[in-house]
């Protein structure tokens, strides 16, 4: 049955898909008996940022509403690449609570902890690492970017090099059809697809070639403009845990665009503001200000006020929901236990197949 997965379809799954295509794909998924229809991961490296919400959580919530059953995993093994284990541990439950508060429903979306299936993940990472060269891994743009901006080859540990292989192991163990990632993860997805193809070519068609689901091709920039917004680069990030005063100060401190000039940073600020706006009239308000800015009017002070108001309203609502969810201290643990049980079954099954053919 598994060997026929890819033979049954010659469709190219390497292209990004749109929201409209998802329902058709859902049918294909069940017909071909993939184990997981849609998979996504989150590193417990810090509190979530608005970029994590817009790039990663919001699309999943939308798909969940359309009847898709996503699986989300908390990537604690990925997180120890550049965070201490104690720090990672401290964020695991928080990240799950964040996802639920942002709209994920554990009845529909299973959530598991990556290290709950560490045995399977690590074994498979080792096996997959044999299929890719050091030179190829060194060429991965994300690694080059990290080594340029956040880490140095002399001090970064070797997990950074293996990061995309570990990610491939997660995806392929789950036999996932679609992977929801932000723009920053596209290069890693190329590695996963490459490894799936190489595995299939060498050992027989076992893995469907996973497809990127980039619902919003969003790349939210750091408020400071140095690369993308990341939770491990707090100076340029707006966190969902920030209070109104902090948000306001961070936005005030952003570089003010010169009248008439649209730059990448301002575009990113407009994007955040419009995406988090609750009403059409708020979005119209933003459009009107940007129009005025483009014609050379000094309206950036006003824009920053609106940006602050919209973001603070969103965060306030989120924080109220999160407080409700975390009232029962055992709830998050029970969500993770249920998710991990299913993930473990899938992983064991896949790994048995892998070992058989290898």
Closest CA to 180 of 44, 355, 353, 16: 16
Contact between 350 and ligand ATP (CB under 6 A)?
Answer: no
Q: Which candidate, 126, 43, 55, places its Cα nearest to that of 81?
A: 43
Q: Check residue 184 for interaction with ligand ATP (CB under 6 A).
A: yes
Shortest distance in whole angstroms from residue 183 CB to ligand ATP: 6
**Interface positions, 4-43, toward ligand ATP (CB under 6 A):** 42-43
- Positions in 236-255 near ligand ATP (CB under 6 A): none
Q: Closest distance between ligand ATP and the C-beta of residue 218, in Å?
A: 5
Binding-site size for ligand ATP (CB under 6 A) equals 21
- Minimum gap (Å) between residue 49 Cβ and ligand ATP: 6
Distance CA 74, CA 157 (A): 21
Selected range binding ligand ATP among 129-137, 178-186, 188-196, 287-295, rule: CB under 6 A: 178-186
181 vs 300, beta carbon nearer ligand ATP? 181
Phi-psi map region of 3: left, alpha, beta (phi>0 left; psi -120 to 50 alpha):
alpha
In the bound complex, what is the minimum distance in angstroms from residue 3's beta carbon to ligand ATP? 31
Given the structure tokens 């992983």, which residue do they identify?
A: 347
**Is residue 181 a contact residue for ligand ATP (CB under 6 A)?**
yes
| Residue 96 makes contact with ligand ATP by CB under 6 A | no
Whether the Cβ atoms of residue 179 and residue 211 lie closer than 8 Å to each other: yes
Residue 51 touching ligand ATP (CB under 6 A): yes
- The CA–CA distances, whole Å, from 228 to 59, 241, 261, 278 equal 19, 19, 21, 24
Alpha helices in the chain (DSSP H): 22-32, 50-52, 58-65, 76-79, 85-101, 118-129, 134-138, 141-149, 159-173, 186-203, 244-252, 264-276, 280-294, 300-325, 331-357
CB of 232 to ligand ATP, least distance (A): 3
The C-alpha torsion from 281 through 287 and 290 to 295, rounded to 10°, is -120
Q: Candidates 52, 254, 273, 350: give the one binding ligand ATP (CB under 6 A).
A: 52
Applying CB under 6 A, among 101, 132, 220, 276 the residue interacting with ligand ATP is 220
- Closest listed residue to residue 181, CA positions, set 217, 232, 209, 233: 217
Of residues 56, 74, 160, 196, which one binds ligand ATP by CB under 6 A?
Answer: 56
Q: Does 269 bind ligand ATP (CB under 6 A)?
A: no
Which residue, chain included where needed, has tokens 């017909």? Answer: 31
What is the nearest approach in angstroms of ligand ATP to the Cβ of residue 348? 26
Is 208 one of the binding residues for ligand ATP (CB under 6 A)? Answer: no
Sole window of 28-36, 104-112, 216-224, 309-317 interacting with ligand ATP (rule: CB under 6 A): 216-224
Candidates 45-53, 102-110, 127-135, 313-321: pick the segment binding ligand ATP (CB under 6 A). 45-53
275 binds ligand ATP (CB under 6 A): no
Torsion region of 121: left, alpha or beta (phi above 0 gives left; psi -120 to 50 gives alpha)? alpha
Q: What is the DSSP string of 196-249?
A: HHHHHHHH-S-----EEE-SS---PBPTTSSSB--TT-GGG--BTT--HHHHHH
Site string for ligand ATP, 284-303 (x = CB under 6 A): --------------------
Among 125, 185, 192, 346, binds ligand ATP (CB under 6 A): 185
Looking only at the bridges linking them, the beta strands covering 211-213 and 36-42 are unpaired
Candidates 106, 164, 182, 208; binder of ligand ATP (CB under 6 A) is: 182
CA 318 – CA 303 distance, rounded (Å): 23
Q: Establish if 231 lies at the interface with ligand ATP (CB under 6 A).
A: yes
Q: Is 218 in the site for ligand ATP (CB under 6 A)?
A: yes
Query: Mapping DSSP to helix (H, G, I), strand (E, B) and coil, where does residue 263 land?
Result: coil
**Phi and psi at residue 72, to the nearest 5°:** -115, 135
Q: Is residue 129 a contact point for ligand ATP (CB under 6 A)? A: no
Q: Which residues bind ligand ATP (CB under 6 A)?
A: 42-43, 45, 49, 51-52, 55-56, 181-185, 218-220, 228-232
């Amino acid at each position: 049955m598994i060997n026929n997965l890819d033979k049954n379809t010659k469709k190219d799954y390497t292209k990004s898909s749109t929201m409209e295509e998802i329902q058709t794909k859902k049918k294909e998924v069940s017909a071909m008996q993939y184990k997981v229809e849609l998979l996504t991961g989150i590193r417990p490296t810090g509190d979530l940022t608005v970029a994590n919400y817009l790039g990663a959580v919001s699309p999943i919530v939308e798909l969940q509403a359309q009847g898709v059953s996503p699986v989300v995993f908390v990537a604690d093994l990925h997180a120890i690449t550049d965070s201490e284990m104690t720090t990672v541990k401290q964020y695991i439950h928080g990240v799950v609570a964040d996802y639920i508060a942002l709209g994920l429903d554990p009845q529909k979306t299973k959530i598991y902890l990556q290290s709950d299936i560490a045995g399977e993940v690590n074994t498979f990472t080792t096996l997959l690492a044999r299929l890719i060269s050091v030179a190829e891994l060194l060429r991965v743009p994300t690694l080059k970017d990290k080594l340029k901006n956040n880490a140095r080859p002399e001090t970064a540990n070797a997990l950074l090099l293996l990061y995309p292989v570990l990610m491939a192991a997660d995806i392929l163990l789950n036999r996932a059809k679609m992977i929801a990632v932000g723009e920053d993860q596209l290069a890693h997805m190329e590695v996963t697809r490459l490894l799936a193809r190489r595995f299939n070519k060498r050992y027989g068609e076992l893995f469907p070639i996973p497809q990127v689901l980039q619902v919003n091709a969003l790349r939210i920039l750091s408020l400071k403009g140095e690369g993308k917004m990341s939770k491990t680069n707090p100076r340029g990030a707006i966190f969902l845990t920030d209070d109104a005063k902090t948000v306001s100060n961070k936005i005030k401190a952003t570089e003010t665009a010169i009248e008439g000039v649209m730059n990448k940073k301002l575009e990113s600020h407009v994007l955040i503001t419009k995406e988090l706006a609750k009403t059409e009239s708020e979005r119209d308000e933003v459009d009107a200000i940007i129009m005025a800015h483009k014609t050379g009017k000094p309206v950036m002070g006003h824009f920053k006020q609106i940006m602050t108001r919209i973001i603070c309203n969103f965060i306030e609502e989120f924080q109220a929901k999160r407080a409700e969810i975390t009232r029962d201290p055992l709830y998050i643990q029970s969500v993770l236990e249920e998710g991990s049980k299913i993930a473990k079954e899938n992983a064991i099954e896949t790994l048995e197949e892998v070992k058989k053919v290898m």
